[in-house]
Chain A
Amino acid sequence: MTGVLIMEDSLAKFLFPALMLFATGLLGAMFKRNLIIIFMCVELMLCGAMLAMLAFASEYGDIRGGVFAFFVMTIAAAEVAVGLAIITRLFVVDGTISTKNMNTLGD
């Protein structure tokens, strides 16, 4: 029944996959062990949030959501560049990028 409703409403048609993307990313970021995959999940969340914004922007014919998406993409690119550098460096120093082995810090 929900599925039918989603296909009829054009806003929900975009909003539903956006929130699914966000939820997938959140679950992955919480439960995955590999840092690269966790990082990709964070980017997935970013995509989901951005898609939600674009869904509203196209539904109401407002251009600012689309423009803002470009800014967010720039931010995401900077974050990815720094994040991947840190993860690569951790692999060089520690020899692993699994969160299971991250135990340098603590009591």
Chain B
Amino acid sequence: MELQNISFDWGSVASEAVLFLCAVIAIVLSAFSRKESSIVQIFAMFGIVAALFVEILCPTIGSGETYFGEMLTGASSFGCFVLVCALLTGLMGFGYFAKGGKRGGEFMAVLMICTAAMMLFVRANNLMFAFIALECATVCLYIMAAWNRERASSLEAAVKYLVVSGVSGCLFLLGIAFIYGAGLATSRELLYFENFTAGMGNGLFMTGFALVVSAVLFKVAAFPFQFWSPDVYQGAPTPVSAFFAVASKAAGIVFIGKIFTFIDFSGGGMFDISENIVFTISVISAATILVGNLGAITQINVKRLMGFSGIANAGYLLVAVAALIKMGSMAFFELTLYFYLAAYMFANYGLFFVVNQFQGDDDSDQTFADYRGMSRKSSLLESSLVINLASLAGIPPTAGFFGKLLILIMAWYAQLYWLMGVMVFGSVVSIYYYFGWMRASLDFADGGERPLRETGALAPTLYALSASTLFFGVIVFFLVRL
């Protein structure tokens, strides 16, 4: 790549630029604004909405072109997805900072930088660029996990994430070094995704590729690397736990899906390699599903439970990735992936909004006992809890059911029958612990002494999330006419 051939297409990163700019303005504003005023937070929300508009109107979606000297591909649906996550996290932040959290303006600034970095990570077309964007997002996640810096639980969660994520970042970098070396030795630009097919079969490249994929599996909390997830979800402030659970996991899965779509397994001699990769990913996803679901059975702390639930869901998504590699059907994979992620987002945010409404700035010790008698205290929170738990458990007609159905259809066409069995078994087990939480909240006996408060913007958000959970699946299925 000659330097003079590089075009600086600033229009293609307009949405990320809006976010970065608003983040800088938000930091300056919060330095000058009155303490604990929510003006900066409101400004930041407008910034995220503006970025969302730019992203929707952005002409680069699905164009197949590359920008900045082939460093970036066009925007994907993931941009809109993560922006909606940021918006919901910001809304939850209002509740969190109203009940005792500090420095709301700066929080929104860090959240916006993290969101922009994740968008760039998923748009990367080159591993070096992906690494920089990933680490930028990760450093923001450290800061956000440690936000409640008066509490040992939040700091401990941040330290655990710091060490685990630091190690995974190093694995990623070592993988890049190997792929770079393999590329130089064979005179090919192997760091670019579209050349990955050429590297398959080269020992050095395969080692590096395995390191990169396992580093991303760290981030999505897949089986051998899942141990950090429940601790971090439990200790981090609730809006941050929700962001970890949805946005960070989705970024990793979308990235893994993306690099596998660039590899063409149809060529000569590729069959054995693809069989091996499918087998490895299948075993990892089966183990992830089992560890997540079986680990959740004994949990009574709701945020830990969500941590194990997140592990299980990463397993379901990896089933879709394994099926993608086996059959190579891009369009159906994208539909499945984004449908499942959207359903997962509605359900998770619906639940974390409820968790966030319990008073006290530390939610790390919430157990089922706190939810007793909830149906009498607030019918709004109770109905949101029931609907979204049903969606995570995969009860029809919620979106979660259709999401799992799509993944099962993919696995069926890819002939991964044993993986379908594991997935169905995991879903059945998951009904037990999701319904345990639901049962505690429907218990009419007194017991939950923790005060519960409904704040301003909560009701419309929860109505929107619960309605999406209930009707999204049905509507999409009618639109697509599967």
Contact = CB atoms under 8 A, between A and B. Distances in A.
B167 A45 contact: yes
Interface string B45-63: 0000000000000000000
Given A79-B135, A89-B146, A39 B166 contact: yes
B155 interface: yes
Interface of B: 128, 131-132, 135-136, 138-139, 142-143, 146, 149-153, 155-160, 162-163, 166-167, 169-170, 173-174, 176-178, 180-181, 184-185, 231, 234-235, 298-301, 304, 364
A62 B128 CA distance: 15
The SS class assigned to the B binding surface is helix
Interface in A50-107: 50, 52-53, 55-57, 59-60, 62, 64-65, 68, 71-72, 75, 78-79, 82-83, 85-87, 89-90, 93-94, 102, 104-107
Interface of A: 22, 25-26, 29, 35, 38-39, 42, 45-46, 48-50, 52-53, 55-57, 59-60, 62, 64-65, 68, 71-72, 75, 78-79, 82-83, 85-87, 89-90, 93-94, 102, 104-107
B184 A93 contact: no
Contacts of A26: 167, 170
B173 A102 contact: no
B184 A59 contact: yes
B266 to A, nearest CB: 30
B304 to A, nearest CB: 7
16 contacts: A26-B167, A42-B167, A46-B170, A49-B170, A50-B177, A56-B181, A57-B184, A60-B184, A65-B180, A78-B136, A79-B166, A83-B162, A85-B146, A93-B152, A94-B155, A105-B364
B169 A52 contact: no
Contacts of A48: 170, 174
A80 to B, nearest CB: 10
Contacts of A102: 156, 159-160
> Considering the complex of A and B, which 8 residue pairs feature the smallest CB-CB distances, nearest first?
A56-B181, A45-B170, A42-B166, A53-B177, A49-B173, A60-B184, A49-B174, A52-B177
